[in-house]
């Protein structure tokens, strides 16, 4: 068995990459891990109940995926130009570059999406593990290269050249790690998961690979007891033992490890903290709306057994002389909604690189020169980014050419760099469309008010009238005006 290790950068950043991916994916259950617990939601029975109730009624509004999608839509407004590389890519390969049905355009977009999201992404050229004598044999056997995109979370260790001047910065060895579901002899066999770590390195100047399988808790090379996530996390430990899976294999014609990395700071690095903040503000706001939908009425009397008790219908009908009816209401959500709106706006101003222009509250006072300069800066950023992506794509092309036995390949794929202010205007329109959609979410408060009316049990005519009033009210007015109407209706009906 073998022991492998984790690169210090991997250990330092994997939790950050996982958080960025969670905020991009927007899985509602996973996002509950990012809720901040209120002080009153302690370990007492009432605190635990309140915490669990709030978690169950909190839903995540995904800003991160639309921001990345808007950027990608502008960067790839036109398809990539592959006319120069027709000698190394067949039409079939361009239509299915990764063996999963993704075209070269889709492959590059996915690679770019991960690069913008995580600040790091790999593209690897792989081929079937069958050695052939020459390209003619490969063609007759139907063998061909395939592109793979590696998330940085799947690359636990690596090493780069730091001495040889002509290869400085290139990988001399690299590992990728993934959970696989091996083929079964038939469907009567139970599926098992296995964690695979592939080691890529140069040996005698040739690209070489060897597979390893993690030894799992049940002392075998596969697991039926662990989920894919648990299995993957078990491999992200220096103590994991690895069992060789076959012999090492080399391709002498490929003289470097065919992996290209695009690396920079994540484009969501400043957005994620604001999205995290908004998620918790949104949870708090929904909590306020929830209790506004169910105001508590309390009764106090002047009798010797005076107490405060919840007001039910039977209680109200038996009120003793001198009793008073008091509403114990939650806080007004107006300030909360204002705070959420400010954070929402800030998320897009930062994420779309429009710090001044997209501020709906101050845009009217921005000068034409200010807006023009900001648009020009966004255009310049977009063009620079496309050129960086194009450089990475053509490194991938050169690696592909090596598998076609063409070294020092010079032809390139060209990306669209014709980006202007019109594209930025469209870019901003996409933002405004999404911002409008997000602004519709306060309708939740109206639904909560309706639930209260149903519980009060008014006659159908009064209920219908109040429902119409709730439906036609502006969201900002609902918090105070409707609560007053609801309470008055409750008391008058009695």
Asked if residue 219 lies in contact with residue 200, where contact means CB atoms within 8 angstroms, the answer is: no
Residue 483 neighbours by CB under 8 Å, 6+ apart:
292, 295, 329, 449
Is 39's pLDDT higher than 80?
yes
Is 435's pLDDT higher than 80?
no
Asked if residue 271 lies in contact with residue 62, where contact means CB atoms within 8 angstroms, the answer is: no
Arithmetic mean of pLDDT, 63-71: 90
Q: Which residue has the higher pLDDT, 221 or 230?
A: 230
The rounded mean pLDDT for the chain is 78
Is 315's pLDDT higher than 70?
no
Q: What is the dihedral of CA 433, 438, 443, 445, to 10 degrees?
A: -160
Query: How many helices, marked H, and strands, marked E, lie in the chain?
Result: 17, 13
Q: What does the alpha-carbon distance between residue 404 and residue 358 come to, in Å, rounded to a whole number?
A: 49
What per-residue string of b and e applies to 6-38 under the rule 16 or more CB within 10 Å gives b?
bbeebeebbeebeebbbbbebeeeebbebbeee
Residue 295 neighbours by CB under 8 Å, 6+ apart:
327, 328, 329, 330, 452, 483, 486, 487
Is 352's pLDDT higher than 70?
yes
Is 96's pLDDT higher than 80?
yes
Q: How confident is the model at residue 236 (pLDDT cuts 50, 70, 90)?
A: confident
Is 374's pLDDT higher than 90?
no
Q: Hey, is 72 helix, strand or coil?
A: helix
Q: How confident is the model at residue 129 (pLDDT cuts 50, 70, 90)?
A: low
Q: Of 56-60, 343-347, 350-354, give the lowest mean pLDDT range.
A: 350-354
Structure tokens at 247: 């012999």
Which conformational region is residue 367 in: left (phi greater than 0), alpha (psi within -120 to 50 degrees), or beta? Answer: beta
Q: How confident is the model at residue 438 (pLDDT cuts 50, 70, 90)?
A: low
Q: What does the alpha-carbon distance between residue 150 and residue 143 come to, in Å, rounded to a whole number?
A: 22
Q: Of 31-35, 75-79, 194-198, 222-226, give the lowest mean pLDDT range.
A: 222-226
Per residue in 186-212, pLDDT (tens digit) is: 898 888 888 999 999 999 888 999 999
Is 334's pLDDT higher than 90?
no
Most confident of 45-49, 284-288, 302-306: 45-49
Integer angstrom CA distances of residue 386 from 183, 309, 415, 421: 40, 66, 7, 16
**How much of the chain exceeds pLDDT 70, in percent?**
68
Model pTM score? 0.75
Residue of 405, 411, 85, 98 lying closest to 255 (CA atoms): 405
Structure tokens at 211: 């597979």
Q: How confident is the model at residue 373 (pLDDT cuts 50, 70, 90)?
A: confident
pLDDT computed for residue 251 by the predictor: 86
pLDDT computed for residue 119 by the predictor: 95
Q: How confident is the model at residue 326 (pLDDT cuts 50, 70, 90)?
A: low
| Radius of gyration (C-alpha) of the chain in whole angstroms | 30
Q: What does the alpha-carbon distance between residue 120 and residue 352 come to, in Å, rounded to a whole number?
A: 19
Arithmetic mean of pLDDT, 18-22: 96
Structure tokens at 76: 């790839």
């Amino acid at each position: 068995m073998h022991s492998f290790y984790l690169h210090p950068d991997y250990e330092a950043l994997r939790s950050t990459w996982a958080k960025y991916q969670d905020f991009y994916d927007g899985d509602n259950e996973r996002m509950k891990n990012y809720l901040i617990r209120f002080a009153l939601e302690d370990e007492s029975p009432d605190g635990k109940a309140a915490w669990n109730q709030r978690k169950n009624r909190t839903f995540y509004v995904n800003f991160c995926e639309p921001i990345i999608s808007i950027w990608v839509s502008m960067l790839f407004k036109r398809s990539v130009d592959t006319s120069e590389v027709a000698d190394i890519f067949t039409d079939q390969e361009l239509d299915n570059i990764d063996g999963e049905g993704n075209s070269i355009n889709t492959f590059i977009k996915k690679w770019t999406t991960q690069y913008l999201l995580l600040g790091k992404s790999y593209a690897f050229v792989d081929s079937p593990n069958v050695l052939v004598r020459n390209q003619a044999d490969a063609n007759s056997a139907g063998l061909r290269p395939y592109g793979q995109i590696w998330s940085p979370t799947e690359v636990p260790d690596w090493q780069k050249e730091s001495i040889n001047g002509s290869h400085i910065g290139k990988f001399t060895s690299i590992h990728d790690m993934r959970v696989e579901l091996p083929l079964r002899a038939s469907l009567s066999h139970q599926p098992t998961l296995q964690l695979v770590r592939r080691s890529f390195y140069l040996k005698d100047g040739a690209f070489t690979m060897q597979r390893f399988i993690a030894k799992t808790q049940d002392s075998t090379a596969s697991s039926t007891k662990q989920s894919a996530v648990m299995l993957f996390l078990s491999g992200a430990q220096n103590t994991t033992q690895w069992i060789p899976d076959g012999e090492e294999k080399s391709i002498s014609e490929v003289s470097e490890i065919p992996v290209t990395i695009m690396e920079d700071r994540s484009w969501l690095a400043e957005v994620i903290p604001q999205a995290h903040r908004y998620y918790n503000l949104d949870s708090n706001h929904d909590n306020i709306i929830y209790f506004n939908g169910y105001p508590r009425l309390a009764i106090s009397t002047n009798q010797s057994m005076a107490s405060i008790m919840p007001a039910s219908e039977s209680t109200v009908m038996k009120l003793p002389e001198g009793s008073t009816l008091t509403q114990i209401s939650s806080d007004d959500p107006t300030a909360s909604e204002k705070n959420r709106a400010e954070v929402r706006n800030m998320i897009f101003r930062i994420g779309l690189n429009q710090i001044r222009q997209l501020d709906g509250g101050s845009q009217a006072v921005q000068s034409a020169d200010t807006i023009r300069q900001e648009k020009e800066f966004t255009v310049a950023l977009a063009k620079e980014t496309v050129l960086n992506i194009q450089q990475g794509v053509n490194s991938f092309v050169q690696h592909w050419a090596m598998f076609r036995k063409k070294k020092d390949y010079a032809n390139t794929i060209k990306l669209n760099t014709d980006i202007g202010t019109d594209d930025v205007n469209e870019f901003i329109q996409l933002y405004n469309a999404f911002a409008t959609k997000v602004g519709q979410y306060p309708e939740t408060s109206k639904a909560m008010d309706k639930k209260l009316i149903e519980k009060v049990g008014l006659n159908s005519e009064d209920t219908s009238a109040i429902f119409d009033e709730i439906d036609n009210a502006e969201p900002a007015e609902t918090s105070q005006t409707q609560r007053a109407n609801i309470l008055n209706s409750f008391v008058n009906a009695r």
